[in-house]
Amino acid sequence: MCGIMGYAGAGNAAAIVYNGLLRLEYRGYDSAGIAVMYDGKIKIAKKRGRVKELSAFCGELAGNVGIGHTRWATHGRPSDKNAHPHSSGKITLVHNGIIENYPKLKEELIASGGKFASETDSEVAAKLVDKNYDGDILEALIKSCKMLEGSYALMVMCEGFDGIAVAKYKSPVIIGLGDGGNFCASDEPALAGLCPGICVLEDGDFALITADEVKIFDSDGKRVERAVLENLAEEKSLDLCGYPHYMLKEINESPAAVRNTASAFSSCGKACEILSGAKRIILTGCGTAYHAALMGKRYIENFSSVHARADFAGELRYASRTAEEGDVLVAVTQSGETADTVEAARLYGSFGAKVLAVTNSPHSAITRIADGVVYADSGAEICVAATKSYSAQLAALYLCACVAAGGDVKAREEELFACSDMLRSFIERTDVRRLAERCSKSSAVYFLGRDLDYCAALEGSLKLKEVSYVFSAGYPAGELKHGTLALVDGKVACVFSITDPALAEKSASAVEQVLSRGGAAAVLTDIDGVKEEFGGRAEIISLPACGKYLAPLFSAAVMQLLAYRTAVILGRDPDKPRNLAKSVTVE
């Protein structure tokens, strides 16, 4: 899930690639590098650390053709030597993906005299292309890729060729078609403001990109055409708009994401048709998207008689099941490129299930696989931790559940419009600093709830741990006494979500269990009786009275703000948490 960027044109390649990498840094930020060709020779600058570390070198990289890379380490620790680009002979390349058979290939290359400078799998690709190069870079790349197993998006420069050769298999590549130059990148944000049109490469495609033209080839090297699409990337997406971090900015954009998703739902006719005929719905995703899928399962089973289940995409892929008539797989993914989710969708599609994608990315891999698409329209999300995209996914799945139940979709859309307005004012006035101080000093933080509130608790726990590095876990409130209570003492904080009146008494019992053991408790609730019961004994965060089905949008905002404030107190970077990247395109 590294970010890669390339440019061939009349402009300053180093500056263009550098700015593109800044927009792709959410994909990885362990190290970064740029290679530029000038007068037939390739010059490289690469460093461990953030993309900004390259700024001092950009002035030294003169030329009109360049490639760049921002890394999320898989093979080899973050270091200068493991940073991309990698070179061999006349060849210099960058790689996103994982070459699964690299140990065998590396052994063969060493046996034939090859010497390696890095610990990466990617350097194997550079050595292979160099070994296979005999004057035709496209031929060398095609021959080399036939030897690779795994996933790859490769951008290759070759001394003597005034352009970039590209290969794509199970890792995304978008071609940008500009005036006076052409581009290639992992994702659309890198191309914001640079070109009006894009092409999305298919698995097995190759491309040759020069200043004047783009040629696309299939796996056999035959010329093919790919549809030219509108470049939807927003040039202003990197503007912090006065906020100190993207995470806080994007939490505040959640109301707009909910509204936009509800507005866009009327155009999802094919998706609605699929849902209306569903007999069984399997929801899947990874990380935050999986938690949204869990919430979607609860919505479907509460609103309709349709059986639903939710599975981690990485596990669903290995289930020995076949689809039944009327099965629908709902694949939830912000980027639309999450490897496990895409492969699960492919698998269930091959079983005969209808595939429905819930995604924020209209030109992604999942949309090309899916039979129908529901857009969780949150706009560009730069922070690695999902915030507004999660809110958009909840809104999308709320409407999907209504369709599956044959309900009044317009009425549900109106509910979400009203909820969006309430959410905006709620976020503006909600202050979680005191609770964040407590969490920052806690040995552990547990998030607890029942039913929908349990789904919310899982996501709250994930947010806190991924941006603040404070240990946290999400549990069903009823499970507290079956083991986790042994961990509760004066150093532990517990955050309860209680928004269902029918379950409030049972959840309140769990709060009492924590308080009686000396643990600190916070309660997120819209139920007056709960507020009265724990006022003065627990931290109370009042939610608007919006009903149990929409309450998760408000509890999510609280938990996101809590994670953000805790991270800031502890001096963490909430936008770029260690060891993580946003778009997980590797397995």
CA atoms within 13 A on the CB side of 585: 32
Whose tokens are 């039944």? That residue is 324
Q: Count Cβ neighbours within 10 Å for each residue of 77-105 and write b for 16 or more, e otherwise.
A: ebbebbbbbbbbebbbbbbbbbbeebeeb
Q: Known catalytic residue: 582?
A: yes
Distance CA 296, CA 383 (A): 24
Which one from 2, 158, 184, 494 is the annotated catalytic residue? 2
From the list 518, 521, 493, the residue with the least C-alpha distance to 507 is 521
Radius of gyration, alpha carbons of the chain: 25
| Residue 390 dihedral angles phi and psi, to the nearest 5° | -65, -45
Q: Give the C-alpha separation, 3 to 96, whole Å.
A: 7
Where on the phi/psi map is residue 443: left (φ > 0), alpha (ψ -120 to 50), or beta?
A: alpha
DSSP 8-state code for residue 160 = T
The angle subtended at Cα 301 by Cα 344 and Cα 500, nearest 5°, is 120
Beta pairing partners, 157: 92
Which residues are 372's β-sheet partners? 356
225, with CB counted inside 10 A (0-12, 13-18, 19+), is: exposed
Report which of 269, 420, 432 is spatially closest to residue 356, judged by C-alpha positions: 269
CB atoms within 10 A of CB 489: 11
Structure tokens at 532: 């009265």
Q: Does 2 participate in catalysis according to the annotation?
A: yes
How crowded is residue 339: how many other Cβ atoms within 10 Å of its Cβ?
24
Q: Does residue 93 sit in helix, strand or coil?
A: strand
Question: Rounded to the nearest 10 degrees, what angle do helices 388-404 and 269-276 cross at?
Answer: 50
3-state secondary structure 41-91: EEEEEEEECCHHHHHHHHHHCCCCEEEEEEECCCCCCCCCCCCCCEEECCE
Sign (positive or negative) of CA dihedral 387, 392, 394, 397: negative
Q: Which backbone phi and psi does 135 adopt, to 5 degrees?
A: 100, -15
What 3-state class would DSSP assign to 412? helix
Choose the catalytic residue: 249, 463, 548, 582: 582
Which residues does the annotation mark as catalytic? 2, 582
